[in-house]
């Protein structure tokens, strides 16, 4: 375990604070409120993290800020996959806890996969993060800071954000939405809402809340089964939030929001990879405004394994008749444990 990230700062980190909060912060240190708006612009829109480069701030304000920190996270390790298309970053929080995020390049599409929790409470049987158990929720600043650090590391502008890293975003709902709002803010990062996807293992009340609030962000649901019993084999959360309730909430969301919902289906050998399962999927999803993302399983050294290429091909055959788009996500970065379901901070595992 690394030494905790030492800090002697009087104020909470500036990243994660809204325009209004930064205005209040400016006033609290004896400055005019517009200084807070300037800080917001520098931090989020211009993404400058050195006070001496914030040229329109007064010298006296820059001196006052000298002892404060902007970032709530610092990078402590990075891994590059053999394909050079995927990079995984390990961040340390101020209390010494660790969290991971991934930067993926696919042609002109640059995607970052952000974590919302240290560990995860949902306990999906096939996922490495679940093995860590739940440690803590991340603040909105700790979520957004992953993006800001990764943007600095990327040669190109990040085009897409997925909340699919460590943790269950809907069990940290308030901070997840606050982070998405900061990324979407027109005077800040200004990421289009349709480029931001929040993924859930199926927290039904939060899907309903997300829908009721008319959140503009895209929603992805980890389905991984075609019935209550099948899903329960790998996702204990199905006990609390039943398969039928999940399907009902997902359909309602797609209908009311007019946004196409994405269903994620992790394909595991002898669990959910029979062509009969894909036939069921075609029936189950045919009247939902959706797309299906099939993810051949990324192995983590446990009891589950990826089906053979022949089995994957056989599973995909019936889906060719589907009236909704189907994509296969061949996860990148498996060699550095950066594929879907592989994130777990080794320093915590050991």
In tens, the pLDDT along 77-112 reads 888 766 678 888 999 999 999 999 999 998 899 999
pLDDT at 333: 43
Question: What integer pLDDT is reported at residue 231 of this predicted model?
Answer: 94
Q: Which domains does the chain have, with CATH numbers?
A: 19-65 (1.10.150.530), 74-349 (3.20.20.70)
pLDDT at 4 over 60: no
Specify the pLDDT at position 189.
Answer: 97
The mean pLDDT value for 53-81 works out to 86
Q: Which of 113, 127, 290, 340 is catalytic?
A: 340
pLDDT of residue 122: 84
What number of other Cβ atoms are within 10 A of residue 212's Cβ? 12
Among residues 23, 100, 142, 168, the one annotated as catalytic is 100
pTM value? Answer: 0.89
Q: Which of 80-94, 206-220, 245-259 has the lowest mean pLDDT?
A: 80-94
Higher pLDDT, 187 or 6: 187
Please state the rounded mean pLDDT for residues 295-317. Answer: 87
Handedness of CA 300, 247, 241, 177 (dihedral sign): positive
Percent of the chain at pLDDT > 70 equals: 89
Q: Is 246 exposed, middle or buried (0-12, 13-18, 19+ CB in 10 A)?
A: buried
User: Which residues, listed in sequence order, are joined to residue 264 by a DSSP beta bridge?
Assistant: 222, 293
Token digits for 2? 């690394």
Catalytic site includes residue 100? yes
- Greater pLDDT, 306 or 170: 170
When the pLDDT of each residue in the chain is averaged and rounded to a whole number, the result is 88
Section 42-48 average pLDDT: 97
Name the band, by pLDDT with cuts 50, 70 and 90, for residue 10.
low
Average pLDDT over residues 123-151: 89
Mean pLDDT of 182-200: 97
Rounded Cα distance between 26 and 46, Å, is 19
Confidence (pLDDT) at 331? 53
Count of CB atoms within 10 A of residue 40's CB? Answer: 23
Output the pLDDT for position 85.
82
Burial of 302 (0-12, 13-18, 19+ CB in 10 A): exposed
Note the pLDDT of residue 9: 52
User: What is the mean pLDDT of the segment spanning 185-214?
Assistant: 96
The predicted model gives 305-319 an average pLDDT of: 93
Q: Strand, coil or helix: what is 113?
A: strand
Q: Looking at the predicted structure, is the pLDDT value of residue 67 above 80? A: no
């Amino acid at each position: 375990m690394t030494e905790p990230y030492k800090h002697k700062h009087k104020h909470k980190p500036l990243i994660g604070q809204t325009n209004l909060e930064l205005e209040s912060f400016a006033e609290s240190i004896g400055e005019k409120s517009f200084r807070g708006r300037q800080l917001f612009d520098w931090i989020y829109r211009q993404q400058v993290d050195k006070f001496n480069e914030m040229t329109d701030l007064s010298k006296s304000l820059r001196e006052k800020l000298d002892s404060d920190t902007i970032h709530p996270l610092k990078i402590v390790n990075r891994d590059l996959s053999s394909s050079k298309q995927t990079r995984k970053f390990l961040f340390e929080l101020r209390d010494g806890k660790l969290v991971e995020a991934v930067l993926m390049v696919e042609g002109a599409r640059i995607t970052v996969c952000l974590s919302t929790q240290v560990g995860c409470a949902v306990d999906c049987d096939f996922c490495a993060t679940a093995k860590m158990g739940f440690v803590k929720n991340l603040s909105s600043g700790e979520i957004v800071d992953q993006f800001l650090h990764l943007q600095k590391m990327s040669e190109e502008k990040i085009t897409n954000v997925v909340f699919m890293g460590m943790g269950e975003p809907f069990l940290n709902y308030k901070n997840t939405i606050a982070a998405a709002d900061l990324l979407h803010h027109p005077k800040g990062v200004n990421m289009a809402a349709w480029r931001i996807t929040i993924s859930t293992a199926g927290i039904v009340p939060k899907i309903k809340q997300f829908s009721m609030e008319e959140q503009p962000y895209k929603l992805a649901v980890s389905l991984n089964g075609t019935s209550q019993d099948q899903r329960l084999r790998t996702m204990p959360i199905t006990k609390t939030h039943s398969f039928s309730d999940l399907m009902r909430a997902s359909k309602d969301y797609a209908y009311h929001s007019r946004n196409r919902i994405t269903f994620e289906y992790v394909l595991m050998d002898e669990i959910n990879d029979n062509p009969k399962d894909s036939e069921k999927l075609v029936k189950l999803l045919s009247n939902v405004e959706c797309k299906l993302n099939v993810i051949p399983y990324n192995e983590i050294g446990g009891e589950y394994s990826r089906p053979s290429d022949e089995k994957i091909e056989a599973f995909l055959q019936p889906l060719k008749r589907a009236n909704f788009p189907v994509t296969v996500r061949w996860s990148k970065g498996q060699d550095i444990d950066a594929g879907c379901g592989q994130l777990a901070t080794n320093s915590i595992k050991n």
